[in-house]
Amino acid sequence: MKLSDYLDIHPDVENAIKNSEPVVALESTIISHGMPYPKNVETALMVEETVRSNKAVPATIAIINGKLKVGLTHDEIEYLATNEEVKKVSRRDLPITVAQKLSGSTTVASTMIIASLAKIAIFATGGIGGVHRGAENTMDISADLEELANTNVCVICAGAKAILDLGLTLEYLETKGVPVIGYKTSELPAFYSSESGFDVDYKIDSAQEIAEILKTKWDLSLDGGVLVTNPIPVAFELETGVMNDAINQAIIEADNNKISGKKITPYLLSKVNEITQGKSLEANIKLIQNNADLAAKIALHYSK
């Protein structure tokens, strides 16, 4: 079988790729495992509209009945949002999900893989996975970091998810040679907050300059991704102390309930949302929209 037998690219996306127009990949885990219904559908459609409003084409990525879908219909988004059979798919799960004709939502890692297969270089998400707190004992490190080391896709995010060990996540990215760029900031954003106490590698103030860096990196055959960290707008950020207290409480409850592996991140995000009385979910939506806005601007310059 050829690659095209596995890939199902939406006509709007395919047309944009063929004509070297700006395209922004979007992940689907947030639809099936990140938010409650119908907020998940509303957010997915809003993020796509944000990309379109910046003159780029959105390509939400998922696996449906064994097909790698690049660009979804409204019905397909609804299906992901409401079907409990939809699996959370990372790199290790991709071949099994496709071979067995199953459906899955894509994490950062698997979205990067499928975006790269479709020749899409720019990808907007909420936050990446990283090194989990206590990883020196559990060895729990997200596949997202390994994908950033190897796959030629630029990921725009609000930093690593705040439930992680941000210092160790930065160390891991440095070891793998992944540039961490702060958009208009020299400090790594901490997902719900614009401050973390950790520095990024480079502060870059324009989408055009970021696009030029991407082109230069890949022209030099320096394989691997670039991480662009984009702080949540100040009006929507949550106070760091409050968030840390909520995260610590959620981690203790996860330990008590022996939750681990791919279930840990959805559990912690849900628990933090419960503890913050919905504030973290609203912040999550705003930061994803903000990242899609920047990603579309970068894609516009990169396509030129």
Residue-wise pLDDT for 70-112, tens only, equals 999 999 999 999 999 999 999 999 999 999 999 999 999 999 9
- 27 part of the active site: yes
Q: Among 88, 161, 262, 297, which one carries the catalytic annotation?
A: 161
From CA 280, how far away is CA 162, in angstroms rounded?
11
Q: Which stretches of the chain are assigned E, i.e. beta strand?
A: 7-9, 23-26, 57-64, 67-70, 87-89, 104-106, 122-124, 154-157, 180-183, 202-204, 226-229
Assess contact for 8 and 70: CB atoms under 8 A. Answer: yes
Q: How confident is the model at residue 242 (pLDDT cuts 50, 70, 90)?
A: confident
CATH of domain 3-303: 3.40.1790.10
Is a pLDDT exceeding 90 seen at residue 207? yes
Q: What is the CA radius of gyration of the chain?
A: 18
Q: How confident is the model at residue 271 (pLDDT cuts 50, 70, 90)?
A: confident
Is a pLDDT exceeding 90 seen at residue 280? no
The pLDDT tens digits of the residues spanning 162-171 come to: 778 999 999 9
Residue 164: phi, psi to the nearest 5?
-100, 175
Percent of the chain with pLDDT over 90: 75
Q: Is the sign of the CA dihedral 152, 153, 154, 159 positive or negative?
A: negative
The pLDDT tens digits of the residues spanning 104-150 come to: 999 999 999 999 999 999 999 999 999 987 777 778 889 999 999 99
Quote the crossing angle between the two packed helices 207-219 and 279-303, to the nearest 10°.
60
- CA angle 88-166-124, nearest 5°? 50
**Highest mean pLDDT of the ranges 132-146, 167-181, 261-275:** 167-181
Is a pLDDT exceeding 80 seen at residue 225? yes
What does the pLDDT read at residue 302?
98
What does the pLDDT read at residue 77?
98
Is a pLDDT exceeding 80 seen at residue 5? yes
Q: Among 27, 76, 78, 147, which one carries the catalytic annotation?
A: 27
Chain centroid to CA 154? 10
What does the pLDDT read at residue 115?
98
Is a pLDDT exceeding 90 seen at residue 161? no
Decide which of 40 and 246 is more confident. 40
Reported pTM: 0.92
Assess contact for 98 and 66: CB atoms under 8 A. Answer: yes
Is a pLDDT exceeding 90 seen at residue 262? no
Burial of 283 (0-12, 13-18, 19+ CB in 10 A): buried
The structural domains of the chain, with segments of one domain joined by +, span 3-303
What does the pLDDT read at residue 3?
92
- 161 part of the active site: yes
Q: How confident is the model at residue 55 (pLDDT cuts 50, 70, 90)?
A: very high
Is a pLDDT exceeding 90 seen at residue 205? yes
Instruction: Find the largest Cα–Cα distance for the chain.
Output: 53
What does the pLDDT read at residue 45?
98
Output DSSP code: residue 34: I
